[in-house]
Amino acid sequence: MGIQYKRFLNPDISLGIGMQYGLVIEADFDGSYLPLKGWWGYPLNIAAIEWPVTCNYYLHASDNVKLYFETGLSLLKIVNPLKEYRRGLTVERSELFGKYYSYSSISPEDTDPIVSVAYFFETPLDYKFIIGIGGLLRYKNFWLEGGFRYFPRLVKNDPFEEVVVFDDIPEDDPLHYYDDIFLVRIKNHFQAVLTFGINLNYGAR
């Protein structure tokens, strides 16, 4: 769900910028990436606002029908993590292992102790690349656009390549005191896009 502004530089090329809201990750974890202090189950439900910046190249099937190829970059901002719990995610940084997301959980019945968890991501959550295809149908000053986007994960990082056991994390690092640490791998994925638009330049053809 979102809005988009698109400007045609010529009949074949357009630039667009938009804003949309959606889920990035929704998963449950059991156990941990490293054999640390315990085995717990943690939900991870992250919502985000995205700002996709795109460039489209069009092929003209007819006067009112166009096919397009799309490329671009989508910037993300995490806005709504773990609402059902009292504590959400906070962004932290370790000098040795880099940026991570910190989460402290407690059961709704207050029967379980507070547990601290650190989430690292193999690919950045700040942005993703866009490759897409689709089509556009125009009727007078209105148009309907539908397509598919693919997000290639070109940047990968494993900050724990040299970590085998818990003692490999130095005691002066904040991660030494976490109960569990996860390295989250996000697989390449697709997104379906359906857009209803209004042509603001009524003299354009």
Q: Give the pLDDT confidence of 127-144 residue by residue, as tens digits.
A: 889 999 999 898 888 889
Two tokens, residue 57: 């190249």
Structure confidence by residue, pLDDT tens digits, 165-203: 777 888 888 888 887 788 887 776 888 888 888 877 654
**Mean of the per-residue pLDDT values of the chain:** 79
DSSP-assigned letter for residue 155: -
The angle subtended at Cα 116 by Cα 87 and Cα 162, nearest 5°, is 135
Q: Where is pLDDT greater, at 82 or 52?
A: 52
**Whole-model pTM?**
0.70
How sure is the predictor about 147, in pLDDT bands with cuts at 50, 70 and 90?
A: very high
Domain extents in the chain: 2-198
Taking Cα atoms as reference points, which of 96, 92, 83 lies closest to residue 118?
A: 92
